[in-house]
Homo-oligomer: A and B are copies of this chain.
Amino acid sequence: MSKFKEINIDHLKLSCSECNLRELCFPHGMKEEELSNLDAVVDQPKPLHKNDFLYRDGERAMAIYAVRSGCVKTMTESANGDEQIVGFHLPGELLGLDGFADGSHTCNAIALETSSVCELPLDQIESLCHRLPGLQKQMRRIMGKEVNNDHKLLLLLGKMTAEERLASFLLSLSARMEERHWKDNEFNLTMPRQDIANYLGMAVETVSRLFATFQSEKIIDVDRRHISILDIKRLRSIVGECE
């Protein structure tokens, strides 16, 4: 038995000003006194478990969300039932902007593993943005980022080969790991191959085969969901980036 008392950290609210993700998240570029205003409205509900929905297509949009830990995927559904994953959201990344157009979400947000999120309620955003110019500006930046992200993905799906897509995916993950001051050459995939395949617009089998190829070419090392990037230059040259 531990001599420490067990406490339920679910109910411990971590303030934005103390959050180590603040530079990636809502608070980016905000002043100290603005942050305390933000803290007052940001809620942290209990964590999501694997496969829990954060929100569903068609549901009324109540908030925008920031991932605090774990990973959340967003996916659109088509008329005839097939789905396209449009994003994997890592800690510090935001989601829920799809509800801005007409007040209802247009995609599903599902936790890939146990994850906690922070909520910024929509009904408070208006007044909050009015009081905090920093937040207003950050909101615009966030949306711009989302749009740019989507554009990159459109380019990937529209113009790249399967090999380029997977290389691009790994590079994107690596870069985002670095942003979080985590190891950028060694990380775990939080999603199954199926989800990677769906996101990149190809078949699972192709993902498997490409992982095998990259491994045999000593570009990466794959152990189940654990990825080590051995030759990032090769990855970059595959997607066509000059050094």
Q: Which residues of A contact B (CB under 8 A)?
A: 76, 78-84, 86, 97-102, 106-107, 126, 129-130, 133, 136-137, 140-141, 143-148, 150-155, 157-160, 198-199, 201, 239-242
Name A85's closest neighbour in chain B (CB-CB).
B158
Instruction: List 5 A-B pairs, minimum CB-CB distance, nearest first.
Output: A80-B240, A100-B144, A101-B144, A150-B150, A158-B201
Q: Check B240 against A79 for contact (C-beta < 8 Å).
A: yes
Minimum CB distance partner of A77 in chain B: B155
How many copies make up the complex? 2
Q: Which of B82, B129, B140 contacts A100 (CB 8 A)?
A: B140
Q: How far is the CA of A86 from the CA of B21 in the complex (A)?
A: 31
Given contacts A102-B141, A102-B144, A136-B129, contact A154 B76 (CB under 8 A): yes
- Given A84-B158, A157-B158, A158-B157; A147-B201 close (CB under 8 Å): no
Main secondary structure of the interface of A (DSSP, over half): helix
Shortest CB distance A151–B (Å)? 5
Known contacts A100-B140, A158-B198; is-contact A76 B151 (Cβ 8 Å)? yes
**In the complex, A198 Cα to B159 Cα: how many Å?**
8
Residue contacts A-B, CB under 8 angstroms, 27 given:
A76-B154, A78-B155, A79-B240, A79-B242, A84-B151, A84-B154, A97-B147, A99-B144, A100-B140, A100-B143, A100-B144, A100-B145, A100-B147, A101-B141, A101-B145, A126-B136, A129-B129, A130-B130, A130-B133, A143-B146, A147-B147, A147-B150, A150-B150, A153-B154, A157-B201, A158-B198, A158-B201
Please state if B242 and A155 are interface contacts (CB–CB under 8 Å): no
Q: A79-B242, A147-B146, A147-B147 are in contact. Are A155 and B98 (CB under 8 A)?
A: no
Minimal beta-carbon separation of A145 from chain B (angstroms): 4
Given B143, B154, B239, which contacts A79 in the complex, CB threshold below 8 Å?
B239
Specify which of A82, A100, A147 lies most central, judged by the most chain B CB atoms within 10 Å of its CB.
A147
